[in-house]
Amino acid sequence: MLSGTASTHVVRLVRDTALAAGVPTPLLAELPGADDTSLAADHHRVPLATLVRIWDLLAHTLPLGSAGLRVADAAPLGTLPAWDYLLVNGTSLADALTASRPYHQVVTATEEVLSVEDDGTLAIGYQTLSDDSRTSAAVHEYVLAYYLRRAREATRRDLVPETVRFSHPAPPRHDALLRAFGTDIEFGAPTNTITFRAEDAQAPLPEGDPRLGSLLRDHAAHLLASARPLPGRHDLFRSALEAEMDAGAPALDAVAARLATSPRTLQRRLAEHGTTWRHEVDLARYARARSLLTDERLTVGAVAGRLGFTDDRALRKAFRRWSGRSPEDERRTLVHR
């Protein structure tokens, strides 16, 4: 259910940082789930493609090595409430993170990997799914900077990590990264990890409350169980196409108008999704035809008319293309299965 989705709080954080960095508002406003109404409910899950696109825009607006830090700087404790307070409530930093890791999807996508290794020292690793090198570098820099910030807030100490490793090459200027992490950084490493010394990872948290941590984990589990994915761009397209089919033969211009976009932009977005207008209309007509054929009161000609075909011969030709069968054969299979 959570596959392909992201937390509303994370989307809001990155979106607002992008706006402050100068990303044009219209580029963000067109993204499904990035509006304030969609982001208002904790149980909403935004299409992951929306979050990735916002990261793309931010990473390509700011200089290399700065976008991730900009997002982490904009995220004081409480910005990601369902996750933030889990990290500061435990007997130690290692205890809080290890106990909370099973609930990390409240802020990450199922497709992305968060690892926590507690063998005295505490190592936190992350791997994003973005295939844009500039974007993935920004995401990894944000994630490790975020966990350093939370570790410092939890321990009330100006922690310096034992090691910081990034899989991407060093940006031309990385003074800001060195200052932020307070230690040398290994670039071009096999993984993206931040490691805390044992004396920091195992030290009692000054204000950590393990009982509150347990309650917060229950809350995180409830959020995950009640999560409701918001429709993505392609979901919205298919809904608009279905609505046009209710009125007869669907037209590209009419579907584009329902989506408040131009026919050319709609065709470009379909291509980005790996499909075409004709293919989508065929899929929708075939699914609708199969549904109508289960009603034995409808003749094949009536089904053809409802689908916007000129006559039953046109429907028969389409059926041969769709399934290699006739409408009558399809009806017999559907009705008597």
State the residue for tokens 């990264």: 177
Cα–Cα–Cα angle for 29, 284, 257, rounded to 5 degrees? 35
Position 12 in a domain: no
pLDDT of residue 8: 96
Cα(33)–Cα(48) distance, rounded to whole angstroms? Answer: 10
Closest CA to 166 of 139, 181, 187, 144: 187
Residues 82 and 209 placed together within one structural domain of the fold:
yes
**Predicted TM-score (pTM) of this structure:** 0.79
Residues 295 and 222 placed together within one structural domain of the fold:
no
Per-residue confidence band for 332, with pLDDT thresholds at 50, 70 and 90: confident
Closest CA to 54 of 10, 12, 5, 15: 15
Average pLDDT value for the chain: 92
Is 11's pLDDT higher than 90? Answer: yes
Residues 206 and 237 placed together within one structural domain of the fold:
no
pLDDT of residue 24: 95
pLDDT of residue 108: 87
pLDDT of residue 1: 64
pLDDT of residue 2: 78
For residue 315, the domain's CATH number is 1.10.10.60
Position 166 in a domain: yes
Position 56 in a domain: no
Residues 215 and 168 placed together within one structural domain of the fold:
yes
Is 294's pLDDT higher than 80? Answer: yes
Position 57 in a domain: no
Residues 150 and 283 placed together within one structural domain of the fold:
no
How large is the average pLDDT for residues 180-205? 97
CB 6 within 8 A of CB 51: yes
Structural domain containing residue 240: 233-336
Closest CA to 127 of 162, 163, 70, 167: 167
Residues 237 and 221 placed together within one structural domain of the fold:
no
Cα(324)–Cα(297) distance, rounded to whole angstroms? Answer: 24
Residues 6+ apart with CB under 8 A from 138: 55, 58, 59, 62, 67, 68, 71
- The predicted-structure confidence for 96-149, as pLDDT tens digits, reads as follows 999 999 999 999 887 888 999 999 999 999 999 888 999 999 999 999 999 999
Position 224 in a domain: yes
Domain count, the chain: 2
The percent of residues above 70 in pLDDT, for the chain, comes to 99
Residues 135 and 206 placed together within one structural domain of the fold:
yes
Residues 176 and 128 placed together within one structural domain of the fold:
yes
Is 188's pLDDT higher than 90? Answer: yes
Last residue in a domain, options 207, 228, 249: 228
pLDDT of residue 337: 65
Is 42's pLDDT higher than 70? Answer: yes
Dmax (CA) of the chain = 79
Position 320 in a domain: yes
How large is the average pLDDT for residues 88-93? 96
**What burial class does residue 335 get, using C-beta atoms within 10 Å of its C-beta: 0-12 exposed, 13-18 middle, 19+ buried?**
exposed
Residues 168 and 310 placed together within one structural domain of the fold:
no
